[in-house]
Amino acid sequence: MKSARNTANSKPPEQAGAASEPVLLSGGNPQIAKGYGDAPVQAYIAAMPGWKRSVGERLDALIAHTVPNVSKAVKWNSPFYGLDGQGWFLSFHCFDKYIKVAFFRGASLDPPPPVASKQPEVRYLHIQQGAEIDEAEFARWVKQASQLPGEKM
């Protein structure tokens, strides 16, 4: 009787259960599998290299404190934050020299985050190593963003 297992496409036994470090993509952005909930976001943050990890931890804590019922996911190797039934309002992504925080309806925030996008509604906050985050302003942006219609992605 033939086995239904396709050995050409299966992992060797020594790799099947092996835990490995996340791959860092260009800019040091962690490659984390798509997933919903806090666990994949925490895995992404834990894999952020160097100084970026503590910034990611702080951003996540500020977002969760400002919007206690926030939904989280990792999509396209980036953490996303939103509200169930309303869509996503924010994401961030690692680059070589900074972390890019994307507010999907950022042009509607008062004041808008400082960096424009090719997409008219999107605005960015770039956080570089050693930069102080204005936590009060960031929290105001997060609060405002959470009250606007989110993006369905």
Average pLDDT value for residue range 31-56: 94
- pTM given for the model: 0.84
Beta carbons within 10 angstroms of residue 47's beta carbon:
21
CATH number for the segment(s) 24-146: 3.90.1150.200
How far, in Å, are 11, 55, 149 from residue 100 at the CA level? Answer: 36, 11, 21
Residue 23: predicted pLDDT: 82
Using pLDDT thresholds of 50, 70 and 90, give the confidence band for residue 2: very low
Domain regions of the chain by residue span: 24-146
Using pLDDT thresholds of 50, 70 and 90, give the confidence band for residue 65: very high
Residue 17: predicted pLDDT: 36
30 Cβ contact partners less than 8 Å away, ≥ 6 residues apart: 22, 23, 24, 43, 44, 47, 48, 49, 77, 94
Residue 20: predicted pLDDT: 59
Using pLDDT thresholds of 50, 70 and 90, give the confidence band for residue 112: very high
Evaluate if residue 143 carries a pLDDT over 70: yes
Evaluate if residue 18 carries a pLDDT over 70: no
Q: Are 59 and 90 in contact (CB under 8 A)?
A: no
Using pLDDT thresholds of 50, 70 and 90, give the confidence band for residue 78: very high
Residue 27: predicted pLDDT: 74
